[in-house]
Copies of this chain bind each other. A is one copy, B any other.
């Protein structure tokens, strides 16, 4: 189960919301397990999940008729599925021969609600929630659909609720933690595959191909691939290009794919040949900051405190002028889940939060260095997901 049911129910109580409607791909998958492919690979296709307060009825899914095969094939547990739109599928005599086929036939036989908003309204009205307080995730619903929903439910109190989902998703369930562990591991293995071909005259793009291919082989999909070398390693969002490695180059990886919809975001650096004293010293400094975060993060600590401490450690460990806007963030279905480890955050670490903690350093003209580890907050500290050393690699 991906959904943290108790945290969601607590949030509904606290916020005075009777039902939440997920509309972004992340929140739809989160609340239902349903991977509505078209919504993930494009912007616009509509799929929703209605999750009422526990005394207000069962959850419901709204999906296009063409996506019902995914619901059946993925064994999605929510039974109330409302379909919309015409999609032509024929049936052979063997169509209902297995559980997946039977479910799909049953879903296809349901009434076509016409459009996603009408389907959602029917699910809301059937639960007696037409005058209730509804929290709508504004992240995926088309604005004209949001307007139509307000208009059709004039007696409901309708609020934007993407921030409620963000809060709920911050504390992970065991199933989510397993996926995130594997996702982080795949990113580590993919760095190994890239470094295995690193030598003078190899291009950044070739490193990236080796990286992403390994990600595919390990069962994940490529997403983030900042792999830059030499002075270009100072470009925080740098895309791998045709630059060829030369001895002395830093190679900076800020990378991670998506395994069973869960993101990785880790960072490691290597030097081609012997590192300079500055490369060694600066890398040791940012790594000291990261290791300090490992040592101090625990439930109850404000994230802003960790920000302050980590920056201070990097400064006194070898980069006296070190500055950052954040030293990490949550990670899950999105690459930036809650919390933010920033000076201005009022968030506090909680057990079960998964974090990508990072201490990048960018110096234009010279290069960039970065270490980033993924970890979960435990009862009294953190457990890292990393199996590789964060030391500066020499290749």
* Closest B residue by C-beta to A87: B325
A234 within 8 A of partner (CB): yes
**Contact residues in B for A219 (Cβ distance below 8 Å):** 205, 209
* Closest B residue by C-beta to A70: B237
> Are A363 and B216 interface neighbours, CB within 8 A?
no
Q: How far is B259's CA from A170's CA once the two chains are assembled, in angstroms?
A: 34
A77 within 8 A of partner (CB): no
**Contact residues in B for A14 (Cβ distance below 8 Å):** none
A365 within 8 A of partner (CB): yes
In this complex, how many residues of chain A approach chain B with their Cβ under 8 Å: the count is: 72
* Closest B residue by C-beta to A45: B336
Q: How far is B67's CA from A392's CA once the two chains are assembled, in angstroms?
A: 26
Q: How far is B232's CA from A35's CA once the two chains are assembled, in angstroms?
A: 17
Known contacts A69-B237, A237-B37, A94 near B42 by CB under 8 Å: no
Q: How far is B90's CA from A324's CA once the two chains are assembled, in angstroms?
A: 11
**Contact residues in B for A334 (Cβ distance below 8 Å):** 42-43
* Stretch with Cβ within 8 A of B (4 or more), from A95-103, A127-135, A149-157: A95-103
Q: How far is B377's CA from A158's CA once the two chains are assembled, in angstroms?
A: 46
CB distance from A304 to the nearest CB of B (A): 15
Given A35-B239, A43-B140, A94-B366, 8 new contacts (CB under 8 A): A37-B226, A70-B237, A89-B236, A90-B361, A90-B364, A92-B366, A209-B217, A213-B217
7 contacts between A and B (CB under 8 A): A37-B239, A41-B223, A43-B334, A67-B237, A92-B364, A95-B365, A212-B216
Which residues does A use to contact B, with CB under 8 Å? 24, 26, 35, 37-38, 41-44, 66-67, 69-70, 73, 85-97, 101, 104-105, 138-140, 142-144, 146, 160, 205, 209, 212-213, 216-217, 219, 221-224, 226, 231-232, 234-239, 241, 321, 323-325, 334-336, 361-366
